[in-house]
């Protein structure tokens, strides 16, 4: 068991995250277990799913019979989206009687069938692989980049078993369940796309070029990326455009949610970590840590990247209103002044208020207005609220 940083909201909530990140384990650890335990409806259990399908009214009847203040968990709610209409009815008739935790690994099915997503009645929370903070900060970086942060993988000590578990995740989930969720008819085409897309991890993606490489129509590629986004397997990082009159890059970057899954899907998880992998995988790792902190700490804002045609760039730009922070991500043990060229450009134009570099070296450094931090120091300061400013709410 790893202690997770996230805490459940005090009201009903959706908990969305890729399969295998530990949503169910976390809920079982933090929801009531005593005299009034949470009532679970596990829709991954085919018998439970069939029971609710046969008798649609039994869900509401069983929930109404629970004591006041009970928590109700519907695990993988996208397998029976119609239950959300009943959840809404139950919340409407007695808003303070019960609270719902609704987990899911896909927002696609819920949107596709047009069910009630409980506007104003449930908040959204995301769930992530284990963060550097949850693993104790001082981690073996090569191990994290090679095998990622899925809890079951981290807990396994045998490296061969780690690799086999990751391959099973790719074979059984990415190429099968994601395909079924998206009603993708051609498994061979989707598998070929997935292999090419994994090679694009951490890169600016031109979908037309990728379609040629995968021998797939451009509209099909766009649909496949939408599927991966909706099933929380990956995320676009849009280009950031500050208010300076310079032409920036217009194509988005693509990042998968976990370095180990990327290596398994590209067939490299059985091999030592290659030097060409470190940069994109380290960027994926740090962006995942940033996204987790933004969501769990309630910071708000958006993560983008910034780039000029001259190749001057900044890997991550966090913005919320007028607050903007630039972060450069370097998978190197030595800091060089040229690594801060993009940050210095934005600092000089006053487009950002603070500039950080996270790298694999052993010592914190200060270079002009840029703070350079080792991985563990950067993550500690991130979770302590010293990298991205906290949200300020008026009275």
CATH code for the domain in which residue 67 is found:
3.40.50.300
Per-residue pLDDT of the chain (395 residues; tens, 9 = 90+): 788 999 999 899 999 999 899 999 999 999 877 667 899 999 999 999 999 999 878 999 999 999 998 999 999 998 898 898 899 899 888 888 889 999 988 766 666 655 555 666 788 899 999 999 999 998 999 999 999 999 999 999 999 999 999 999 988 887 666 666 555 667 777 777 887 888 888 888 888 888 887 788 888 888 888 888 888 889 999 999 876 555 455 788 999 999 999 999 888 999 999 999 999 999 999 999 999 999 999 999 999 999 887 778 999 999 999 999 999 999 999 999 999 999 999 999 999 999 999 999 999 999 999 999 999 999 999 999 999 999 875 54
Q: Identify whether residues 198 and 271 lie together within a single domain.
A: yes
Q: Identify whether residues 153 and 121 lie together within a single domain.
A: no
Q: Identify whether residues 255 and 340 lie together within a single domain.
A: yes
5 is a domain residue: no
133 is a domain residue: no
Q: Which domain holds residue 79?
A: 13-126
Q: Identify whether residues 112 and 187 lie together within a single domain.
A: no
Q: Identify whether residues 239 and 332 lie together within a single domain.
A: yes
394 is a domain residue: no
Q: Examine the fold and report which residue of 75, 99, 126 is the final residue of a domain before the chain moves on.
A: 126
189 is a domain residue: yes
Q: Identify whether residues 114 and 243 lie together within a single domain.
A: no
Exposed e or buried b per residue across 244-269, where buried means at least 16 C-beta atoms within 10 angstroms of its C-beta? eeeebbeebbbbbbbbbbbbbbbebb
Q: Look at strands 302-307 and 323-330 and give their pairing.
A: unpaired
45 is a domain residue: yes
Q: Identify whether residues 145 and 121 lie together within a single domain.
A: no
CB 277 within 8 A of CB 199: no
Domain total for the chain? 2
- Tell me, yes or no, if the pTM score tops 0.75: yes
Q: Identify whether residues 100 and 245 lie together within a single domain.
A: no
116 is a domain residue: yes
Q: Identify whether residues 40 and 116 lie together within a single domain.
A: yes
Q: Identify whether residues 199 and 283 lie together within a single domain.
A: yes
391 is a domain residue: no
7 is a domain residue: no
Q: Identify whether residues 238 and 170 lie together within a single domain.
A: yes
């Amino acid at each position: 068991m790893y202690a997770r940083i996230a805490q459940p909201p005090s009201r009903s909530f959706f908990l969305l995250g890729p399969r295998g990140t530990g949503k169910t384990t976390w809920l079982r650890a933090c929801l009531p277990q005593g005299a009034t335990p949470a009532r679970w409806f596990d829709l991954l259990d085919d018998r439970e799913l069939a029971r609710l399908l046969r008798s649609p009214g039994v869900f509401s009847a069983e929930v109404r019979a629970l004591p006041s203040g009970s928590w109700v968990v519907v695990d993988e709610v996208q397998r029976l989206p119609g239950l959300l209409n009943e959840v809404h009815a139950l919340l409407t008739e007695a808003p303070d009687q019960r609270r719902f935790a609704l987990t899911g690994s896909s927002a696609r099915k819920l949107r596709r069938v047009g069910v009630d997503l409980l506007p104003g009645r449930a908040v959204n929370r995301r769930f992530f692989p284990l963060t550097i903070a949850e693993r104790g900060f001082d981690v073996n970086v090569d191990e994290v980049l090679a095998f990622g942060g899925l809890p079951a993988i981290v807990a396994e000590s045998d490296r061969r078993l780690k690799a086999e578990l990751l391959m099973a995740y790719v074979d059984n989930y990415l190429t099968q369940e994601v395909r079924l969720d998206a009603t993708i008819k051609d498994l061979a085409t989707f598998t070929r796309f997935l292999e090419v897309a994994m090679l694009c991890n951490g890169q600016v993606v031109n979908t037309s070029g990728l379609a040629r490489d995968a021998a797939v129509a451009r509209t099909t590629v766009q649909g496949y990326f939408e599927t991966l986004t909706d099933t929380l397997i990956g995320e676009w990082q849009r280009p950031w455009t500050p208010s300076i009159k310079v032409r920036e890059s217009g194509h988005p970057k693509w990042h998968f949610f976990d370095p180990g899954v990327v290596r398994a899907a590209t067939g490299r998880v059985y091999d030592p970590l290659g030097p060409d992998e470190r940069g994109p995988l380290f960027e994926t790792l740090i962006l995942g840590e940033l996204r987790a902190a933004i969501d769990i700490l309630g910071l708000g804002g958006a993560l983008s990247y910034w780039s000029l045609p001259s190749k001057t760039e900044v890997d991550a730009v966090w913005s919320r209103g007028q607050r903007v922070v630039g972060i450069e991500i370097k998978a190197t043990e030595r800091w060089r002044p040229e690594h801060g060229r993009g940050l210095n450009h934005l600092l000089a134009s006053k487009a950002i208020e603070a500039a950080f570099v996270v790298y694999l070296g052993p010592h914190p450094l200060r270079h002009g207005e840029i703070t350079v931090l080792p991985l563990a120091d950067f993550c500690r300061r991130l979770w302590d609220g010293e990298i991205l400013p906290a949200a300020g709410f008026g009275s």
